[in-house]
Amino acid sequence: MARRFDCAPGVVGVSGEELPALPDRIATDTEAGRIDPRAWFERPERPLEIEIGSGKGTFLLAQAERDPATNYLGVEWAGEFYAYAADRVRRRREATGGPTNVRLLHADATEFLRWRVPAGIVRVVHLYFSDPWPKRKHWKKRVVQDRFLADVWRTLEPGGELRVVTDHDALWAWYEERFSRWTGPEGWSLLGAPPEGGGGPFERAPFEPPEWVAEGELVGTNFERKFRAEGRRFRSACLRKVGG
């Protein structure tokens, strides 16, 4: 189903021609697979933001429409959600002529950041209501790991942000444990880099909801609205890149 969106540059889904397979030399050269995703957009000179797990595209589409001066790339692993979101953006374009600053990629976002994205090109990484993988044997599948935070730090521009929201208490505790490492001196050791100042590679910053969300909402996603109706509690964090 997703292949219907794998078209020429300028449409919604990122095609195989735009993101070819990793080269064999990736085993000895970690830079061999880098490709600049800004080139996938009509206006590549604009700032780039990436949403990991874009789901049905509610946040991505709403944010892109209200911020046409920024390019938004949604990365979704679930094929049915990727196809739904891409078709949703396509239909909006046909109806209104926009937004043209949204692309969708069907991929594992953690692998995409690690092997594909060049350093220092992303303004914001959005991670909202990620799968909590509650069973201990599945914790290795959680998105936020030390490796992931190192890749986010590398790909963010100086002062760029990782923005996170969850409704899951155990996952929030997992986040906090890792965020504490990466906002302190230990984070530089994990990067294999000399320390800069007295803090870590990230600093905590206030999480500010977009202006367009409804009162009391954080990001206005389908998950948030569903969970809010169930009376769940939400936690949010913003990590800002230091140095680099």
Find, among 155, 151, 241, the residue nearest to 204 by Cα: 241
131 catalytic residue (yes or no): yes
Superfamily of structural domain 2-241: Vaccinia Virus protein VP39 (3.40.50.150)
Q: What pLDDT was estimated at residue 10?
A: 45
Q: What pLDDT was estimated at residue 80?
A: 95
Q: What pLDDT was estimated at residue 222?
A: 84
Rounded Cα gap, residues 233 and 243, in angstroms: 33
Q: What pLDDT was estimated at residue 197?
A: 82
The pTM assigned to this predicted structure is: 0.94
Q: E strand or H helix at 227, and its extent?
A: helix 222-229
Which one from 67, 108, 131, 146 is the annotated catalytic residue? 131
Q: Which residue has the tokens 């594992």?
A: 108
Domain map (residue ranges) of the chain: 2-241
> What stretches of 19-145 show up as alpha helix (H) in DSSP?
58-66, 79-96, 109-115
The number of CA neighbours under 13 Å toward the Cβ of 58 is: 15
Rounded Cα gap, residues 135 and 125, in angstroms: 26
Averages of pLDDT over each 10 residues, the chain, 244 residues: 38 92 95 97 97 95 96 97 94 92 97 98 97 97 98 98 97 98 96 89 96 92 87 95 90
Bridge partners (DSSP) listed for residue 162: 125, 239
Rounded Cα gap, residues 74 and 50, in angstroms: 6
How far CA 207 is from CA of 32, 161, 183, 235, in Å, comes to 35, 10, 16, 10
